[in-house]
Chains A and B, each alone.
Chain A
Amino acid sequence: MIFFWAFVVGGLFCVIGQIMFDVFKLNPGIALTIFVITGAVLDGLGLYDPLIDFAGAGATVPITNFGNQLVHGAMQEAEQHGIIGVVTGIFEVTSAGISAAIIFGVIGAFLFKPKG
């Protein structure tokens, strides 16, 4: 069942994105930024974790999860070290997306030649 909900919820995120592109004529970079901030706000309100339980990858694959994880990392450290933890913990949980992008970006630059 979670496969079905992952498909539907993930698809709906993309439809919202498509509406941002087509109706509000937003540049993809700006739309992505709005998505990340939305994810951070949703997690701040405590709504993102239930969504992950409900939709699995439908909630973890869209870029909103990036904002969610940033807040998660900050809150985790904040529980231990108070206000300083907010600054030191931001990248605690998010590591996967950014490090994977950097590592595979560099490997990709070695492996592939630019086209055109």
Chain B
Amino acid sequence: MANKKKKNLPPAAQRYQEFQKHREIKRPLLKNCVKAFFVGGFICFIGQVISTMYIYFFNFTEQTAGNPTVATLIFITMFLTGFGVYDHIGQFAGAGSTIPVTGFGNSVISAAIEHRSEGLILGVGGNMFKLAGPVIVYGVFSAFVIALIKTILTQWGGL
């Protein structure tokens, strides 16, 4: 696809792209991965501490403790996002802050705060899921397809 796009460009633009490719700063992959590993691991570690608390004090099991843990983490994210701390973590950790559920929470909460000035109904309500929307849409759709296949296989296929 990239080649096709290139062919349509005028020669000067093609030369520029070559030049730009040479000058582009290489992303330090290993360093980024190490950062992402430690920050992401640390967030999951905190999640595990919260989970353990729910398991011991509120009688959740290992399987069901995920739900209150996620809610608690998003609650903490609200403050980190509001005070602008999460931005800094994100800049440092890259995917380490995006992949955990806190990244999902951050994208919703930051959109809500940012569009506050456009009004509560259309601003906050309308833009909240601007970034997180695709995750929900395709999550739900793929879950539907998978559950449908599985149900047909188990109920009619006799698996």
Contact = CB atoms under 8 A, between A and B. Distances in A.
A-B complex is real = yes
Interface of A: 2-3, 6-23, 28-33, 35-37, 39-41, 43-44, 49, 52-53, 56-58, 60-63, 65-67, 69-71, 73-75, 78, 82-83, 85-87, 89-91, 93, 95-102, 104-109, 111-115
Given A57-B51, A67-B143, A109 B138 contact: no
Contacts, number: 286
Dominant secondary structure of chain A at its interface with chain B = helix
Interface in B95-113: 95-96, 98-105, 108-109, 111-113
Given A41-B146, A67-B143, A62 B100 contact: yes
Interface of B: 27, 29, 32-33, 35-45, 47-52, 62-63, 65-71, 73-75, 77-78, 81-84, 93-96, 98-105, 108-109, 111-117, 120, 124, 128, 131-132, 134-136, 138-140, 142-144, 146-152, 155
B69 A60 contact: yes
9 contacts: A3-B49, A9-B44, A10-B100, A13-B99, A16-B95, A32-B103, A41-B142, A58-B48, A97-B71
B66, B96, B103, B124, most chain A CB atoms within 10 A = B66
Given A40-B139, A86-B148, 4 more contacts: A18-B33, A36-B139, A78-B155, A99-B71
B108 A105 contact: yes
B13 to A, nearest CB: 20
Contacts of A29: 131, 134-135
A49 B62 CA distance: 10
Contacts of A36: 135, 138-139, 142
Given A32-B103, A63-B135, A7 B96 contact: no
B147 A56 contact: no
